[in-house]
Amino acid sequence: MTLVLVHGNPETDAVWGSLVDILGRTDVVRLSPPGFGSPLPSGFSATFLAYRDWLVDELQRIDGPIDLVGHDWGGGHVVNVVMYRPDLVRSWASDVVGLFDRDYVWHDMAQGFQTPETGEQLVAMMQDGSVEDRVQQLLAFGIPADVASSFAAAQGPEMGRAILALYRSARQPALAEAGKALEEAAARPGLSLLATEDPFVGTEEMRRRAACRAGASTEVLDGLGHWWMVENPGLGATALTRFWESLDR
């Protein structure tokens, strides 16, 4: 068995540290999407479909069975893969299933990234100042200092280019169109992690509706926000472990 973790924007795989420690699994592979803690290859388009194909290639190199878990855009890549190649995994979990609902509207920051000139200005602001300056900004979101330091050190021109290409490729109705295939994800057991205080990933109704279409169960992470795995990794670990144990019964 292999647990594969995929993170999002503007992150590195350090986001998973506390969760992995609590899970105590020795079969963990953390994958960093190109531009987000790993190099952005020359010619890589960084569209959401390019990231889907990247993740497919990575999973094909990993000994299974695979339990695949994604957060933020990593969760988007997970859903895109299991709609397209569910045969690659034993199970999947994502905290952003609601992005694929027909009524999802991108949050303000994402719409900024998707807007010419505004997006470039936002990316420049994210990268402005020293690494320590960026760490301080991330601490304000409740991200622990060690994780914030990893994020800040990885931010730079490559991540900026990846952010703009990724969000612009997913401008609506692109994700709503992709979400028409949600039922294909039901070919493998799925889990929607519903952090109640996450403002970026759609309403509870959208998240539950998308999960239902994908054949996924829902675990509510009550009181937790977007970075639930650093806020209360124990709660997240319990939800995931309960899901995996249900597969063995």
HEC profile of 21-36: HHHCCCCEEEECCECC
Average pLDDT on 75-91 reads 98
**Confidence tier at 190 by pLDDT (50, 70, 90):** very high
CA proximity to 199, closest of 221, 220, 225: 225
Report the pLDDT value the prediction gives residue 141, as an integer from 0 to 100.
Answer: 87
φ/ψ (deg, to 5) at 2: -130, 130
Report the pLDDT value the prediction gives residue 128, as an integer from 0 to 100.
Answer: 83
Report the pLDDT value the prediction gives residue 127, as an integer from 0 to 100.
Answer: 84
**Confidence tier at 118 by pLDDT (50, 70, 90):** very high
Report the pLDDT value the prediction gives residue 105, as an integer from 0 to 100.
Answer: 98
Distances (CA, A) of 14 to 2, 69, 99: 18, 15, 24
> pLDDT tens digit string along 18-71?
999 999 999 999 999 999 999 999 999 999 999 999 999 999 999 989 999 999
Report the pLDDT value the prediction gives residue 249, as an integer from 0 to 100.
Answer: 77
Amino acid at 95: D
Secondary structure string (H, E, C) spanning the chain: CEEEEECCCCCCHHHHHHHHHHHCCCCEEEECCECCCECCCCCCCCCHHHHHHHHHHHHHCCCCCEEEEECCHHHHHHHHHHHHCHHHCCEEEECCHHHHCCCCCCCHHHHHHCCCCHHHHHHHHHHCCCHHHHHHHHHCCCCCHHHHHHHHHHCCHHHHHHHHHHHHHCCCCHHHHHHHHHHHHHHCCEEEEEECCCCCCCCHHHHHHHHHHCCEEEEEECCCCCCHHHHCHHHHHHHHHHHHHHHCC
> pLDDT tens digit string along 168-184?
999 999 999 999 999 99
> Cis omega (within 30 of 0) on the bond before 41?
no
Report the pLDDT value the prediction gives residue 129, as an integer from 0 to 100.
Answer: 84
Average pLDDT on 214-234 reads 98
Q: What domains can you pick out in the chain, each with its CATH number?
A: 2-104+175-247 (3.40.50.1820)
Report the pLDDT value the prediction gives residue 126, as an integer from 0 to 100.
Answer: 87
Average pLDDT on 144-149 reads 96
